Amino acid sequence: EMKAEGEDTGVRLGMDVTLCKCVTLGGEKCTHIKIDCGSKKLMISLFKKKEKVVKDGMDMLHKMDMEGRLLKCIRCDRASKNTKFWF
C-alpha cells in the first residue's frame, strides 16, 4: 500500500473528544480518541471529566517528543476553540 507524502508514523495526529450517553462500569463517560494518520494506530482514553483530556493529549505529545518523533500536524475538531494545545 502506498502512503501519501507526510503519512509516516508519528507525523500527523488526529484527536477528538466525545461524551457518551452511557457510562462505563468505572463511571467514565468522556472518550478521548487519538489516531496516528501514518500507522492508523488508534488510541482511546476514557475519563469521568472532560477536563482530563488536555493533560492526556499533552502527555501523549510529550511521549512522542521524548521518542524523537517529529510531529508536523495535529488535527482537532473545533481547533480554533481548543487554545490549550496551541504552542
Q: How far apart are CA 40 and CA 27, in angstroms?
A: 28
- The pLDDT of residue 86 is above 80: no
Q: How far apart are CA 66 and CA 58, in angstroms?
A: 12
**For 50, which DSSP code?**
T
- How far out from the chain centre does Cα 62 lie? 12
| pTM for this predicted structure | 0.69
Per residue in 28-76, pLDDT (tens digit) is 999 999 888 877 888 999 999 888 888 998 898 888 888 887 777 778 7
Per residue in 6-41, pLDDT (tens digit) is 456 667 888 888 888 888 888 899 999 988 887 788
What pLDDT score was predicted for residue 80?
57
